[in-house]
Chains A and B, each alone.
Chain A
Amino acid sequence: MKELKNIRDQFPILNQKINGYDLVYFDNGATSQKPLSVIESISDYYKQSNANIHRGVHTLSRTATGLFEKARKTLASHFNVKNDQQIIFTAGTTDSINLVVNGLSKNYLKKGDEIILSSYEHHSNILPWQLWAEENGGKLKVIPLLEDQSLDLSKLESLISSKTKLIAIAHVSNTLGVITDLEKVNSIARKNNIAVLVDGAQSAPHMAVDLTKLNVDFFVCSAHKMYGPTGIGLLYLSEKWLKDLPVSKPGGGTINTVTFEKTEYAENALRFEPGTPHIAGSVGFSAAIDFMNAVGIQTIFDHEHQLVQYAQQKMSEIPEVIIYGKSEHKAGVISFNIKNNHPFDVGTLLDKYGIAVRTGHHCTQPLMQCLNIQGTIRISFAIYNTKEEVDFFIEKLKKVITMLC
């Protein structure tokens, strides 16, 4: 691993004062910062290679097409996917989920069918299914939480009926950091012939994800949480769904032939990528993956895991702190509250010390209802965060508590 100092130097944004204090960026779950290699890959693309892709005969167009398709290959190899056409570029996690729901609603999902979600889904993995259910007399069923706020997967089988068509589940909870036991979910799903969509928005930034081994139907994530640019993400389709998922967002670039009567769509990934894609974004996404691999995914996971353990230990020594998601099996995130205090107040005061945290429901209002709280304060780590930052945060958290209590 490169020295941590060295890594921080690659993130110019970190080197600034907020309200007179060194910025401590603990809001990586919302979006991570970008290393120079990613920033430069995007500006280089616009300086040297910009052109519209596919079917262009001129040299620049072929260069741009090459970069876009190389990015697809980089992602395929990163996630251990054999056929790179199984990687579809989308605008991000939310866009990917919508593409799946809209496609499946054309023939796979029937009136009255059922979808299973978990208690800790992000709104982006609830609302598209809910809208489909409302319009089609469908039903959403929810995997409950255990005492330690991990999922009670022993209840999963009892939620399955003959009408269950799909399980849509987060790999890592964005609010709690708890890691879902996907092997177990997937084996139950396979046994019952149910499709599985994994929301990897919070796993892909923190841990190695082997999609061949996971063997799920759909996997989605966003580049901007993985040191890459905003506005681009991916949808992984299993071999079966690459063939079978109906087009729901048609447009230029997705076809083999078009007449006014009938269109024959392309058989590969292009079928799902209408219009001019985010070419610069794909280049930046690819550079972000290169960055992560240069550091080492395991190194990233271990480093963040140590920070979580360390911070959680220090926080549990403060009597006013309530930590949510006590499971040992966590990635990069700690959610907490200060007894009898509103998360908004804590977040407002921490910001005065230059510490960026997120407060509120984190787009998981149903989870807040399960926990019977209004919201939490969430800190979430990336490779560039340090133990010293955690120490500073703990010191200021204690100060904030004395101010508020």
Chain B
Amino acid sequence: MTIEEIEKEIIEEFEMFGDDWEAKYEHLIDLGKSLPLIKEEFKTDDRIIKGCQSRVWLNSELKEGIVYFTADADAIITKGMVALMVRVLSEHTPKEIVDAKLNFVDTIGLKEHLSPTRANGLVSMINKMKADALSFS
């Protein structure tokens, strides 16, 4: 699937909840809980992306022209968002990743998490994902 197709899939998944933000957040929390995102050995200090409050770990690998991301976070809502980002961006080419607009975040009503004033490290994570992809290309 292309990045846009995965985004569409996520949008449909969240449309079920309509305006019910509680259900939406419960889903996000479930996403955060369900995914073992990163190997313990990769949860090292040099892989931490420092947000002010919650910590995010990211590991990027290139195999045969395709970028593989694994990641984790210590706050569960952040981890849910991280899970979405990994789902959308992992297993694509560096160029596709760098070009990704990630408009789905706005559409599913979680844009607030991408505000740069947010203390969760998510924006830094996306920047790091794109920077890593760029360095592979």
Interface stretch, picked from B10-18, B20-28, B86-94, is B20-28
Taking the closest CB of chain A, its distance from the CB of B53, in whole angstroms, is 5
With A360-B52, A375-B53 as given contacts, are A344 and B21 in contact (CB-CB < 8 Å)? no
Interface stretch, picked from B41-49, B58-66, B74-82, is B74-82
Q: Give Cα A360–Cα B25 distance, bound, in whole angstroms.
A: 21
Cβ contacts under 8 Å, A349 to chain B: 25, 77
Q: Are B77 and A348 in contact (CB under 8 A)?
A: yes
> 8 Å CB contacts to B: which residues of A371-400?
374-375
Taking the closest CB of chain A, its distance from the CB of B5, in whole angstroms, is 29
**Interface band, chain A:** 10 to 19
Most central of A343, A360, A375, A403 by chain B CB within 10 Å: A403
Q: Give Cα A329–Cα B76 distance, bound, in whole angstroms.
A: 34
A344 touches which of B26, B29, B78 (Cβ 8 Å): B78
**Interface band, chain B:** 10 to 19
Q: Give Cα A288–Cα B29 distance, bound, in whole angstroms.
A: 43
With A342-B54, A344-B119 as given contacts, are A403 and B22 in contact (CB-CB < 8 Å)? yes
**Smallest CB-CB separation from A375: which chain B residue?**
B53
Is the CB of A359 closer than 8 A to any CB of chain B? yes
Q: Are A404 and B52 in contact (CB under 8 A)?
A: no
Cβ contacts under 8 Å, B75 to chain A: 342, 344-345, 348
B76 touches which of A19, A341, A359 (Cβ 8 Å): A341
A-B residue pair count with CB separations less than 8 angstroms: 39
Is the CB of A352 closer than 8 A to any CB of chain B? yes
C-beta contact mask, A354-378 vs B, less than 8 Å → 1, else 0? 0000011000000000000011000
C-beta contact mask, B105-134 vs A, less than 8 Å → 1, else 0? 000000000000001100000000000000
Taking the closest CB of chain B, its distance from the CB of A120, in whole angstroms, is 20
Cβ contacts under 8 Å, B120 to chain A: 344
Q: Give Cα A19–Cα B75 distance, bound, in whole angstroms.
A: 22
Cβ contacts under 8 Å, B29 to chain A: 345, 403-404
Taking the closest CB of chain A, its distance from the CB of B54, in whole angstroms, is 5
Q: Give Cα A344–Cα B25 distance, bound, in whole angstroms.
A: 14
Q: Give Cα A352–Cα B75 distance, bound, in whole angstroms.
A: 16
Cβ contacts under 8 Å, A403 to chain B: 22, 25-26, 29
Cβ contacts under 8 Å, A352 to chain B: 21-22, 25
Q: Give Cα A403–Cα B120 distance, bound, in whole angstroms.
A: 19
**Smallest CB-CB separation from B80: which chain A residue?**
A345
Cβ contacts under 8 Å, B78 to chain A: 342, 344-345
Cβ contacts under 8 Å, B76 to chain A: 341-342, 345, 404
Q: Give Cα A345–Cα B25 distance, bound, in whole angstroms.
A: 10
Q: Give Cα A342–Cα B77 distance, bound, in whole angstroms.
A: 9
C-beta contact mask, A77-89 vs B, less than 8 Å → 1, else 0? 0000000000000
Taking the closest CB of chain B, its distance from the CB of A27, in whole angstroms, is 14
Q: Give Cα A343–Cα B119 distance, bound, in whole angstroms.
A: 12
Q: Are B22 and A360 in contact (CB under 8 A)?
A: no
**Smallest CB-CB separation from B51: which chain A residue?**
A344
Taking the closest CB of chain B, its distance from the CB of A357, in whole angstroms, is 13
A342 touches which of B21, B22, B25, B74 (Cβ 8 Å): B74
Q: Give Cα A352–Cα B120 distance, bound, in whole angstroms.
A: 16
Q: Are B53 and A359 in contact (CB under 8 A)?
A: yes
Cβ contacts under 8 Å, A348 to chain B: 75, 77
Q: Are A374 and B22 in contact (CB under 8 A)?
A: no
Q: Are B21 and A360 in contact (CB under 8 A)?
A: no
Taking the closest CB of chain A, its distance from the CB of B56, in whole angstroms, is 11
Cβ contacts under 8 Å, B54 to chain A: 342, 344
Q: Give Cα A344–Cα B76 distance, bound, in whole angstroms.
A: 9
Taking the closest CB of chain A, its distance from the CB of B81, in whole angstroms, is 11
> 8 Å CB contacts to B: which residues of A2-44?
19
Cβ contacts under 8 Å, A360 to chain B: 52-53, 119
**Smallest CB-CB separation from B77: which chain A residue?**
A345
Q: Are A374 and B74 in contact (CB under 8 A)?
A: yes
**Smallest CB-CB separation from A351: which chain B residue?**
B112
**Smallest CB-CB separation from B52: which chain A residue?**
A360
**Smallest CB-CB separation from A341: which chain B residue?**
B76
Cβ contacts under 8 Å, A374 to chain B: 74
- Closest 10 CB pairs between A and B? A342-B75, A344-B75, A344-B54, A344-B53, A360-B53, A345-B77, A345-B75, A345-B76, A348-B77, A342-B74
18 intermolecular pairs with C-beta atoms under 8 Å apart: A341-B76, A342-B74, A342-B75, A343-B53, A344-B53, A344-B54, A344-B75, A344-B120, A345-B29, A345-B77, A345-B78, A348-B75, A352-B21, A352-B25, A359-B53, A403-B29, A404-B29, A404-B76
Known: A345-B77, A360-B53. 5 other contacts (CB 8 A): A344-B120, A345-B78, A348-B75, A375-B53, A404-B76
